Amino acid sequence: MLKSISTTFLVTSVCMLASSVFAAGGGGVVTADATKHFDTKGKQASTYTIELQTGLRKSLPFEDKRDFEEAKRGFIAAPEYKQIMADAGNVAWDMGSYEFLLKDGATFDTINPSLQRQAILNMAYGLYEVVPGKIYQVRGFDLANISFIKGKTGWIVFDPLTAKETARAALKLINEQLGKRPVVAVVYSHSHADHFGGVRGVVNETDVKSGKVKVIAPEGFMHHAIAENVMAGNAMTRRMFFQYGVLLPRSPYGHVDQSIGKNTAAGNLGLIEPNVIIKKDFEELTIDGIKMVFQNTPGTEAPAEMNTWFPDIKTFWAAENITGTIHNIYTLRGALVRDALEWSKQINIALHKFGQDAEVMFASHSWPRWGNDRIQEVMRAQRDTYAHLNNQVLHLANQGVTINQIHNVYKLPDSLRDQWAAHSYHGSEEHNSRAVLNRYLGYWDANPATLIPLSPEDSAPLYVEMMGGADNIIKKGKKLFDKGKYLHATEILNKLVYAEPDNQNAKDLLADNFEQIGYQKESPSVRNSFLAAAYELRHGMPEGASPKSTGPDMIRGMSTGLWLDFLGVRLDVAKAEGKHFIINFITPDNGEKYLVELSNSALTNIEGVTSKKADLSITMNRSDLNQVMMGAVSFDDQIDAGKVKLKGDRKPYDELKTMLSTFTMAFELLPGTLPEKSTLPAMNKPFKQDAPADSSGG
C-alpha cells in the first residue's frame, strides 16, 4: 500500500518536472491518508518534537481568535466543487486535498501549532464581502486572493490570480452570486505571477489593446514580471521543489500550507501588458466611478509594487505589503535579497497617510481587517517587525555577530511574538536575519578560513577520515538523534553523505533528522525544504525531466536584450574558447539594434549600437524572433522561410548555434540523489528561450 503511494508520488513528480514552470507546488495534487505517514521510511514526531509542540500550544497567544473571526466575516457562498481543472486536463487546484486540517479538534504533532493555525486560516474558500455593496474577494481559489470592486457599470479586478482557469472560476462565482457584470479594469498590484498570471481568465487582450479595459500596474511592472526570473530561472525552478514542497503529498506529514495561501495553481499562466502605468509616488485615478489613490512602494515585497487607497469608502488595499504573515526578505527558491528597512518605511508611510482614517484593510493574501484600531495594530506590528529585523540584525553585526551566527542569536521581542501578525510564516526569523546581514555585508563572515572554502565534496572525506569513518559517524548520529539534537546530528551526517553519496544508511539517518526539524518549524518554506530534502535523500529525485513548456506571454514580454543576456549565460565556455566574432542584430519592426560580440569566452551585447566591422549582420523582425524564442520554429526555419536576412559571413551564427547549453532540472540539490546520470536533450532549437521561473508567492 505504502509502496504504491510512493509510486504514484513519483509518477506525479515526473509530470511535475515537465510542467513545474507554471506549477510551483500546485501541479501534482497528491493526497495521502492523513492518519499515517505517506512514506515507508517516514517517522512519527519524536518525543522531543512532541514536547516542543506541546510547549508552543501553551505559550503562544491562542486565546486571540480575531484572525478566525476576520477570516470568516462576510462569507457569501462557496461553490459545490473543490477542484478546478486546467484546460490542459490536469487538476489546477484542489482545496479538498487539505481537508484533513479541518477535522474537529485535530492537533498534529507533526505540524508546528502556529503553522497549523495559519494552515486552517488559509482554508477560507469561496466568495466574501469585504465592504458591503462595494468590495468582494474570492479566497481559496489559488495562492492569492482575487478582489472585485463594484464600479458603476462593472467590476474592477485587483490581482487576477496565477492561472486563467482559477481566475475564470472566481469571476463566474461572483457573477452567479451577485449578478453578471463586465470587467472594466484590472489592477496588478505587483510583478509576481500569482497577481497577474490569470488575467486571461477575466479579460480579452483585444479589449485591453483598444483601451476599452484598463489594465493598471506600477512603474517597472513589465520588466520585473519577467526579468527577476530569467537569469537563474532554471535553478529557481529546481529549488522551488524544496521551498514549495512540490513532491510532498498533502498530509500532516507533508505539505500543509504555503503561508500566504494553500499552494499555487497549476494552470495557464499568461500576461497582458498594462495600458496604464502608475509612475509617481502617489497618483489618483477614477475608474467607473471609483476613486483610487495609488501608492508606489518599489523595493518592498516586489521590485514593482503599489498599495491603493479608496478615499470614499475609507478602505486600504495593502497589496502584498501587509498580509497575515511576515514575508520573505530572502526567498528560499532564490531571488535577490529584499530591503526590510524600506519595507518598514513604506508601511509607515501608508500608516500615516491612510491608516489614520482606514476602516477596512484588505490585501492580496490572507483576510481583511476591520475597524481603525485593529488596522493600526496590524500595520504597526508589521512595520515594527521589519524594522526590528533590520535594525537588530545590524546592531548585532556592528558588535561582531556574523552571518554564520546571526540566525542563532536574533530573536523577536516578546511583545511582537505575542501578536500573530508578527509571525514569520513565509519568511522565518532564521533565514530573514541572515538575509539582512547578507544584504549589507555579503556572505563572508570575515574569517579567512571561510573565504575560499573547500567544496563540500572535497572537505567531507577529510572529516570522515578524521572522525574514524562511517560507522563511527552513524553511531554518533544515532545517539544525537535519540537525544533530539537534530541540528548536531545533521552537521556530522551531512559530511558523511557528501563523502559517501551512495551510503543509503547515512542518507536515511540524515533524512530522519531533517524530518523532525521540518515538523518543528513554523515557516512552511523551511518545513517544506527539510521534508522535501528528506524525501529526496530517501528515494532520490525523480527522473525523466522533460522539456519545459514555454509561456508565450512571458516570452513575448521579454526584451531582446534580456534574451541575449541569457544566451551569454547559456554559452558553453569550453566550446567558445579562442573564438571571436561580432554580430549586428537588427529587429526593424520595433526599431532595435544590438551589437553582439564573442571574445574571451564571454558573449556580450550592447543596445542601440552596430559595428561596421561586424562579421555578420542579422536582420529579422522581433515578431519572427518570438516564434523562435517560443520554440514554435527554429532559427534555421526562419532563415529558410526568408524571414531572416544574413549579410556577411554566416559562420559566427553556425558556431554560436553549437555553443549554447540547454539547462534541465536533472541536477542534485543533495549528494547521491540523482538516480542515473541523465543525458542532455538534443538541441534542435538552440535559440529557444525557457520560460522564466514562476515568481508566485514572491
Q: Which of residues 666-695 bind Zn ion (CB under 5 A)?
A: none
DSSP assignment string, 29-51:
--B--TTS-SSTT--PPPHHHHH
DSSP 313: G
Shortest gap between Cβ of 652 and Zn ion (angstroms)? Answer: 43
Q: In the sheet where 290-296 sits, what is the strand order?
A: 282-287, 290-296, 306-310, 315-317, 360-362, 369-370
With contacts defined by CB under 5 A, name the span among 13-21, 193-201, 557-565, 678-686 that binds Zn ion.
193-201
Which of 144, 313 has the CB closer to Zn ion?
A: 144
With contacts defined by CB under 5 A, name the span among 83-91, 188-196, 341-349, 588-596 that binds Zn ion.
188-196
Which of 70, 320 has the CB closer to Zn ion?
A: 320
Distance of CA 22 to the CA centre of its chain: 11
DSSP 193: G
Nearest CA among 371, 380, 381 for reference residue 315: 371
Residue number of the CB closest to Zn ion reads 194
Q: Give the helix/strand (H/E) hosting 183.
A: strand 183-187
Residue 270 and residue 199 in contact, taking contact as beta carbons nearer than 8 Å: yes
The span from the first CA to the last CA of the chain, in angstroms, equals: 37
**Which residue reads 515537465 in cell numbers?**
18
CB neighbours (10 Å) of residue 447?
Answer: 9
Which of 195, 643 has the CB closer to Zn ion?
A: 195
With contacts defined by CB under 5 A, name the span among 139-147, 203-211, 400-408, 495-503 that binds Zn ion.
139-147
Shortest gap between Cβ of 284 and Zn ion (angstroms)? Answer: 25
Q: Which of 70, 194, 257, 522 binds Zn ion (CB under 5 A)?
A: 194
Alpha-carbon span 111 to 114, nearest angstrom: 8
Which of 122, 513 has the CB closer to Zn ion?
A: 122
Which of 320, 522 has the CB closer to Zn ion?
A: 320
Shortest gap between Cβ of 186 and Zn ion (angstroms)? Answer: 16
Shortest gap between Cβ of 697 and Zn ion (angstroms)? Answer: 6
Shortest gap between Cβ of 324 and Zn ion (angstroms)? Answer: 12
Which of 304, 397 has the CB closer to Zn ion?
A: 304
Shortest gap between Cβ of 551 and Zn ion (angstroms)? Answer: 18
DSSP 111: S
Shortest gap between Cβ of 300 and Zn ion (angstroms)? Answer: 12
With contacts defined by CB under 5 A, name the span among 137-145, 373-381, 472-480, 550-558 that binds Zn ion.
137-145
CB neighbours (10 Å) of residue 17?
Answer: 25
Q: Are strands 616-620 and 644-648 parallel, antiparallel or unpaired?
A: antiparallel
Distance of CA 272 to the CA centre of its chain: 20
Shortest gap between Cβ of 696 and Zn ion (angstroms)? Answer: 7
With contacts defined by CB under 5 A, name the span among 138-146, 369-377, 502-510, 547-555 that binds Zn ion.
138-146
Alpha-carbon span 534 to 511, nearest angstrom: 4
Which of 20, 695 has the CB closer to Zn ion?
A: 695
Region of residue 469 (left: phi > 0; alpha: psi -120 to 50; beta: else):
left
Which of 109, 194 has the CB closer to Zn ion?
A: 194
Interacting residues of 63 by C-beta distance below 8 A, sequence separation 6+: none
Q: Which of residues 27-56 bind Zn ion (CB under 5 A)?
A: none
Shortest gap between Cβ of 340 and Zn ion (angstroms)? Answer: 18
Which of 296, 587 has the CB closer to Zn ion?
A: 296
Task: Report residue 543 as a C-alpha cell.
Answer: 527522473
Q: Are strands 155-158 and 315-317 parallel, antiparallel or unpaired?
A: unpaired
Shortest gap between Cβ of 365 and Zn ion (angstroms)? Answer: 6
Which of 331, 520 has the CB closer to Zn ion?
A: 331
Shortest gap between Cβ of 469 and Zn ion (angstroms)? Answer: 48
Nearest CA among 425, 435, 316 for reference residue 376: 316
Q: Which of residues 313-372 bind Zn ion (CB under 5 A)?
A: 320
Which of 194, 597 has the CB closer to Zn ion?
A: 194
Number of residues that bind Zn ion (CB under 5 A): 3
Which of 34, 157 has the CB closer to Zn ion?
A: 157
* Widest distance between CA atoms in the chain: 77
Nearest CA among 236, 369, 253, 287 for reference residue 697: 236
Which of 228, 320 has the CB closer to Zn ion?
A: 320
DSSP 158: E
Shortest gap between Cβ of 594 and Zn ion (angstroms)? Answer: 34
Alpha-carbon span 458 to 154, nearest angstrom: 64
With contacts defined by CB under 5 A, name the span among 190-198, 397-405, 525-533, 671-679 that binds Zn ion.
190-198
Q: Binding to Zn ion by residue 142, rule CB under 5 A?
A: no
Alpha-carbon span 205 to 683, nearest angstrom: 33
Region of residue 6 (left: phi > 0; alpha: psi -120 to 50; beta: else):
alpha
Q: In the sheet where 75-77 sits, what is the strand order?
A: 75-77, 126-131, 135-139, 146-150, 155-158, 183-187, 214-218, 276-278
With contacts defined by CB under 5 A, name the span among 17-25, 186-194, 498-506, 652-660 that binds Zn ion.
186-194
Which of 146, 437 has the CB closer to Zn ion?
A: 146
Alpha-carbon span 108 to 125, nearest angstrom: 22
Shortest gap between Cβ of 450 and Zn ion (angstroms)? Answer: 35
Shortest gap between Cβ of 234 and Zn ion (angstroms)? Answer: 22
With contacts defined by CB under 5 A, name the span among 187-195, 234-242, 478-486, 519-527 that binds Zn ion.
187-195
Binding positions for Zn ion, rule: CB under 5 A = 144, 194, 320
